[in-house]
Structure 1
Amino acid sequence: MKDTSSQAQNTTNTSRHASIVEMLSTPPAMPQQPSTPLEFESISLSRNASASSLDSQMSSTTSCLTKVHSQKWQHIPLSQLIEQNKLVTVEASLSVEEAFNTLVRHNLTSLPVEQFPGDINCFTFDYNDLNSYLLLVLNKIQVNDPEIARDCQMGKPVPVGEIVKLTPKNQFHKLREIDNLTTAMGILGSGVHRVAITDSGSTQIKGILSQRRLIKYLWDNARQFSNLQPLLNSSLQDLGIGVLDSQTAPTSRQSRVISMQGEEHLMMALYKMHTERISSIAVVDNHGNLLGNISVTDVRHVTRTSQYPLLHNTCRHFISVILNSRGLEMGKDSFPIFHVYPSSSLARTLAKLVATKAHRLWIVQPENSATSTSSSSMISGSPQSVSMNTHNSGSDHDTPNRAGSPISVKSFEENSSQTATPLFEKEYRTGKLIGVVSLTDILGLLARRQTEHKQVDPQSARRQRGSVGV
């Protein structure tokens, strides 16, 4: 067996995918030389994973931890978050279909739509707009422009510049590249999904900073920011963010828990996301147990006429289609983990948000420990064990990470009771849905706790968009 310290040295300069243990235990180790952090499509369990290999990988990570340098994230200029040569724009005259293809081709979630070259006051096109367009094509929503509605339903090309005007949007905030993260945090923490970063003279857009990119930047560089550590080590319950009890009416600063029954049609889920102005929705069974998550980005699975029958099938079935598609794309069984517990640390929550590229995670009440421990974890009929000997090995709950020691990963997402059927055909009942925590909740917390924006309201932007029921 190879010495773990030498193994760590060999892997320091080698690009590889981290294990679930590594990623959910501590923030990523800072590279010795500038490099691009690894992207994680989902938290996945490989068919060939084993407890011994996970132990080895965890030891490697522990041995190659780098020294933490004290730095305040609030002082970071926005220029450091601009991805060079990544700004992609489209002309307003381009059709919605072509704009969607541009999104997919560049693996983006939004595009500035210019009325003319260099348009600094432009709208943005995103998957919420695509969802609205699809509902308009199917005559499920009404708009004030009957000509646009008629063209959509007749299959005529519709300019993307017209569609982006139909979906309620927040003011397009623009910040200069010399501004710092404190300013951006105050805006994004209020529920605005993205801001434009301009040159120093505010005459040209140089990049787009989204909530998701900011969260990923903070997580990837968390070891640099010592002032983040107390928050990262705290649980969601201790921090008081998100909704931890769906039976209690949320305050004006909290999101509502919005869900769909698994047997309801997918069309209704898309319609509900449109009316509520949200980007994802929970799917539950008749007992309120979380089955999965449907995101507005999943609309891409029903953009072709041949896929329209999915719209009239159940949400439960659509989740299986998504999992099947992911398995085919990645070449192995995998499933995204869209849930956390009230006892989950903020560090683990950030790790899952980064891994799943989600805007929100669902908070569930863990199932009975006795039931979980008596169930063996099976992936496509192959036993998988991810229970680790950690300082908290006697608990099935997430606990705050202390002094860089690994968090217990003997949790319900990796120990679901399963039978020898393909992964994408299984339901992952992870516990009763009791709450939700979003990117906005976390950014709002950081703004209130660590900047001068003490009164940031994470629901203000959503109220401005006119969401139903707020």
Structure 2
Amino acid sequence: MPTHIKDAQGSSNNSSSSRHASIVEMLSTPPAIPQQPTGSSEVESISLSRNPSLTSLDSQVSTTTSCLTKIHSQKWQHIPLSQLIEPNKLISVDGSISVEEAFNTLVRHNLTSLPVEKFPGDVDCITFDYNDLNSYLLLVLNKIQVNDAQVARDCQTGKPVPVGEIVKLTPKNKFNKLPETENLSTAIGILGSGVHRVAITDPQGTQIKGVLSQRRLIKYLWDNARQFSNLESLLNSSLSDLKIGVQDSQTAPTSRQSRVISIQGEEPVIMALFKMHNERISSIAVVDHHGNLLGNISVTDVKLVTRTSQYPLLHNTCRHFISVILNSRGLEMGKDSFPIFHVYPSSSLARTLAKLVATKAHRLWIVQPDSASPSTPNSAVSSTQQSAAISTSTHHSDSDVPARSGSPLNVKSMEEPANTTSTPLFEKEYRTGKLIGVVSLTDILGLLARKQTEHKQVDPQTARRQRGSVAI
């Protein structure tokens, strides 16, 4: 297939072959397909990207050849689920262990969810994730009420609480199970409705062999996008053209759209956690009084306030907590980094997917760039900004380590105009642009389901309506 994935904001692919691809282009281009051993008669020359010398974002090195094994285009819809199973990431816990033990297991294995079994091999299990950890923390602090008075008392008096009891207290979707012989078309019909993960079982449905999450599916499609020619037209389209997510804060979202949920930077962190709990979302935008995006707080950042010594952070501002999050990431990486959690209405789907994969996020915030800036969002970036982008692409995950002292907040976002002076992030009241929308994994998977499978009526809000909001 032609592999020129064109960003809706970018320039033409007809640039000089000597021009080096920018970081923006690298973020907008699916990874190259690994070369397989083959005879010379089976090799054909194809373009790898806008710059034939660029192989992938991961390698970031030049190559003297643009020859790859002849790749026969596939339809992603027909890929069996067995190809996406990651057995090493299937870690289950018994429902009798404490919430603290379950949390430590999440961190130790770098997972976002765990099946909680009533007995070994329980195929009707439910999952424990960071939303449950957030609910547990709010219960400990007596910020929410639940129907189980004994569990509430145990939480507030410091007694160990079985994780099997906590997972029953928050609204959840059914843990759907699909046999490994099913294909991606079936899975995307479920995940595109807002369900976060499905269990993959053996053909008889008697044993869970893996878990397929929305994030894992998006990463698979992006990593293998060059093999799926039917994705190209969508990848080249802008978010505005595709009409996904919310892109106008003055207009009520349709039934197929997410809502833009944000919090003021001066509000306490505990309120951000409460909002995420109440709205059943995994991250929330932090904005200033003018609606400009300041940053992002994810439900996985709860891990930074799980110790009693960290509780004062809960009553500090969301603005300050963003600096704590960035400090912790800098400590883990050994360098400063600034994850880029925003896109523009004119950003291509390719670039949006690249950022979602790189940030390991469930949603990106759509911002309106400052019209006074002479730079466009995809204009050339400085070397400092390129370094920030590379840091983002190679690591951004939610850190497992506590915050350190000192502030590394002097790394600029990749999309900030290059002529901005190097000033510490919050000292100069850094903003990425006015928050005007949000696009989520659910929005994208729902789009793929409607456009390219038989699931033409998939509604991304179905799962949220089933979960409902939490009664307080």
Distance in 2 (alpha carbons) for counterparts of 1:450 and 1:78: 17
Q: Paired residue for 1:37?
A: none
Contact 1:137 1:152 in 2 (8 A): yes
Q: Paired residue for 2:96?
A: 93
Match for 2:137 among 134, 143, 146? 134
Q: Paired residue for 2:184?
A: 181
Contact 1:174 1:196 in 2 (8 A): yes
Distance in 2 (alpha carbons) for counterparts of 1:185 and 1:425: 44
Distance in 2 (alpha carbons) for counterparts of 1:228 and 1:27: 11
Instruction: Give the letter aligned to residue 133 of structure 2.
Output: L
Distance in 1 (alpha carbons) for counterparts of 2:36 and 2:154: 53
Distance in 1 (alpha carbons) for counterparts of 2:168 and 2:60: 49
Quote how far apart the aligned CAs of 1:349 are. Answer: 0.1
1:249 equivalent to 2:231? Answer no
Q: Paired residue for 1:359?
A: 362
Q: CA RMSD in A?
A: 2.7
Distance in 2 (alpha carbons) for counterparts of 1:459 and 1:335: 30
Distance in 2 (alpha carbons) for counterparts of 1:244 and 1:325: 31
Match for 2:121 among 113, 118, 121? 118
Q: Paired residue for 1:229?
A: 232
Structure 1 residues 205 and 427: alpha-carbon distance in aligned structure 2, compared to 1, 3 A threshold: farther
Structure 1 residues 319 and 63: alpha-carbon distance in aligned structure 2, compared to 1, 3 A threshold: farther
List aligned pairs for 1:147-296, cutoff 5 A.
147-296=150-299
Match for 1:349 among 329, 349, 352? 352
Contact 1:416 1:429 in 2 (8 A): no
Contact 2:340 2:414 in 1 (8 A): no
The secondary structure found in structure 2 opposite 1:429 is coil
Distance in 2 (alpha carbons) for counterparts of 1:75 and 1:190: 19
The secondary structure found in structure 1 opposite 2:89 is coil
Distance in 1 (alpha carbons) for counterparts of 2:163 and 2:419: 43
Query: What's the TM-score once normalised by structure 1's chain length?
Result: 0.81
Contact 1:386 1:414 in 2 (8 A): no
1:437 equivalent to 2:426? Answer no
Contact 1:377 1:417 in 2 (8 A): no
The secondary structure found in structure 2 opposite 1:342 is coil
Distance in 2 (alpha carbons) for counterparts of 1:232 and 1:273: 30
1:384 equivalent to 2:384? Answer yes
Deviating runs (4+, > 6 A) in structure 1? 376-379
Instruction: Give the letter aligned to residue 384 of structure 1.
Output: T
The secondary structure found in structure 2 opposite 1:370 is coil
1:71 equivalent to 2:74? Answer yes
The secondary structure found in structure 2 opposite 1:60 is coil
Structure 1 residues 420 and 72: alpha-carbon distance in aligned structure 2, compared to 1, 3 A threshold: same
Q: Paired residue for 2:5?
A: none
Contact 1:191 1:458 in 2 (8 A): yes
Unpaired runs of 5+ residues, structure 1, are 1-17, 35-53, 388-409
List aligned pairs for 1:13-32, cutoff 5 A.
20-21=23-24, 23-32=26-35
Contact 2:344 2:368 in 1 (8 A): yes
Contact 1:236 1:345 in 2 (8 A): yes
Structure 1 residues 295 and 416: alpha-carbon distance in aligned structure 2, compared to 1, 3 A threshold: farther
% identical aligned pairs: 81
Structure 1 residues 266 and 359: alpha-carbon distance in aligned structure 2, compared to 1, 3 A threshold: same
Structure 1 residues 237 and 145: alpha-carbon distance in aligned structure 2, compared to 1, 3 A threshold: same
Structure 1 residues 253 and 378: alpha-carbon distance in aligned structure 2, compared to 1, 3 A threshold: closer
The secondary structure found in structure 2 opposite 1:300 is helix
1:306 equivalent to 2:297? Answer no
Instruction: Give the letter aligned to residue 105 of structure 1.
Output: R
Count, aligned residues = 404
Structure 1 residues 425 and 187: alpha-carbon distance in aligned structure 2, compared to 1, 3 A threshold: farther
